[in-house]
C-alpha cells in the first residue's frame, strides 16, 4: 500500500543499497553523519506492532546486520539506533555512527548542536562510506544465497 502523502512511500529515503520484498536499506546523504543508514519497511505501516511477529523478526534482523556493518566499517565511538516516526510516520529505523567530536555528541543528532566537526575528521569518515556500501551489499546479498 502506498500512502500518497507519505515521503517514504513516494521516495526511497536515501541511496538504496539493498531492497527485497519487505524492506530497503539506504545510505542517508548527511554531511555531518557519513555512514548514516536507514532500514525502511516497504509497505506503509506506522508501528512495529503493525507487523506480524515474523515480519518484526525479519526487520529487526536487518537492523542488527546494518548496525554490525556500520560498526565494523565506520569504527564509531557509539551507534545510535532509533525508530521515531514523529515527522514521517512510516516504519523505519535509523542506524547512525556517532563520534565524541561529532556536531551533536552526546545529544541525539536532532538535538542541540554542540560543536563544528573538524573537516579532516569528516573527510576521513566520508572516505569510509564506499567500504560501508560494499559491506552492506556483501552482507545482504549473502543472505539471499
pLDDT at 29: 93
35, 17 Cβ separation under 8 angstroms: no
pLDDT at position 145, please?
Answer: 44
Grid look-up 575528521 returns 121
**Which pLDDT score is estimated for 92?**
97
Concatenating the DSSP letter of every residue in 39-75 gives EEESS--SSGGGS-HHHHHHHHHHHHHHHHHHHHHH-
Give the tens place of pLDDT for each residue, 57-79: 999 999 999 999 999 999 999 99
C-alpha 92/C-alpha 84 separation (Å) is 8
Q: Residue 133 belongs to what H/E stretch? A: helix 119-142
Contact between 139 and 62 under an 8 Å Cβ cutoff? The reply is no
Q: What is the distance in angstroms between the CA of the first residue and the CA of the last residue of the chain?
A: 28
Distance, CA of 62 to CA of 51 (rounded, Å): 15
Query: Exposed, middle or buried: residue 60 (CB in 10 Å: 0-12, 13-18, 19+)?
Result: middle
How far is residue 15's CA from residue 30's CA, in Å, rounded to a whole number? 11
Residue 93 and residue 39 in contact, taking contact as beta carbons nearer than 8 Å = yes
Is the confidence at residue 143, as pLDDT, over 90?
Answer: no
Nearest to 87 by CA among 54, 64, 53, 110: 110
How is domain 7-142 classified at the architecture level of CATH?
Answer: 2-Layer Sandwich (3.30)
Q: How high is the mean pLDDT of the chain? A: 94
Average pLDDT over residues 95-103: 97
The confidence score (pLDDT) of residue 141 equals 83
Provide the whole-model pTM: 0.92
Amino acid at each position: 500500500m502506498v500512502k500518497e502523502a507519505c515521503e517514504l512511500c513516494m521516495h526511497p529515503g536515501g541511496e538504496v543499497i539493498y531492497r527485497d520484498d519487505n524492506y530497503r536499506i539506504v545510505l542517508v546523504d548527511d554531511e555531518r553523519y557519513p555512514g548514516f543508514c536507514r532500514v525502511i519497511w516497504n509497505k506503509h505501516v506506522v508501528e512495529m506492532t503493525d507487523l506480524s511477529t515474523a515480519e518484526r523478526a525479519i526487520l529487526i534482523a536487518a537492523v542488527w546486520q546494518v548496525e554490525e556493518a556500520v560498526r565494523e566499517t565506520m569504527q564509531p565511538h557509539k551507534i545510535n539506533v532509533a525508530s521515531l516516526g514523529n515527522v514521517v510516520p512510516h516504519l523505519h529505523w535509523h542506524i547512525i555512527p556517532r563520534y565524541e567530536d561529532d556536531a551533536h555528541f552526546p545529544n541525539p543528532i536532532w538535538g542541540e548542536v554542540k560543536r563544528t566537526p573538524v573537516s579532516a575528521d569528516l573527510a576521513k569518515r566520508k572516505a569510509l562510506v564506499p567500504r560501508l556500501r560494499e559491506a552492506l551489499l556483501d552482507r545482504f546479498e549473502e543472505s539471499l544465497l
